[in-house]
Amino acid sequence: MSLEETALSVLTETGVLQTGHFRLTSGRHSDRYMQCARLFEHADKAEVLCRGLAGLFVGEGIEAVIGPAVGAVQMAYEVSRHLHCRNLFAEREEGVMRLRRGFVLAPGTRVLVVEDNVTTGGTVKEVVALAQAAGAVVVGVGAISDRSGGKVDFGVPFRACLKTDIPSWSPEECALCKQGVPVVKPGSRQIAP
């Protein structure tokens, strides 16, 4: 079974792939949501996908894996474990992604940025910029799920366990809103409607 087939099977079986009416972190709406936090309820299944993702970057000389809090903290740890390197996470402080808790990226450090789920890539772009501002070399971006269908460009190689093209809409374009279907904001960051 390919990594993509394994990922689809695991994400369906663990309840990660959900249907309904969702407000995404980007503010856009969708009828499907990837609640990747549910994957990490199942350490054995998370390990399979994180190992698979790490395998997509073997040979890149990665010295550190960094992911944004909250969604990619466990993921960064698990991917770094398979790449035998350091792991860090970035956190929002006053609305800006920062390295805190004594985390430091030395200039020249070869970094892999990871995220559980990519839709527009906004948070990942913030973490990439943070790493580059520290002088690190971002060698790639990895995700469990790329729901953009490969449309997001980070300026570095982007690889995912599962690539899907799940549509999303602005609230003004959303047919579910027009039908009066209640919207749910399931992610880790609160956004005003």
> CA 168 to CA 75: how far, in whole Å?
25
Q: What is the model's pTM? A: 0.86
CA angle 50, 184, 162 (to 5 degrees): 25
- 83 touches 57 (CB < 8 A): yes
Q: Tell me the pLDDT tens digit for each residue of 140-177.
A: 999 999 988 888 999 999 999 999 888 889 999 999 99
Q: State how far the Cα of 19 lies from the Cα of 181, in Å rounded to an integer.
A: 13
- Give the containing element (helix H, strand E) for 123: helix 122-133
Among 160, 183, 193, 179, smallest CA distance to 8 is for 160
Q: Which domains does the chain have, with CATH numbers?
A: 3-178 (3.40.50.2020)
Helix (H, G, I), strand (E, B) or coil at 172: coil
- Give the pLDDT of residue 8: 92
**Span 62-97, pLDDT tens digits:** 999 999 988 899 999 999 999 999 999 999 999 899
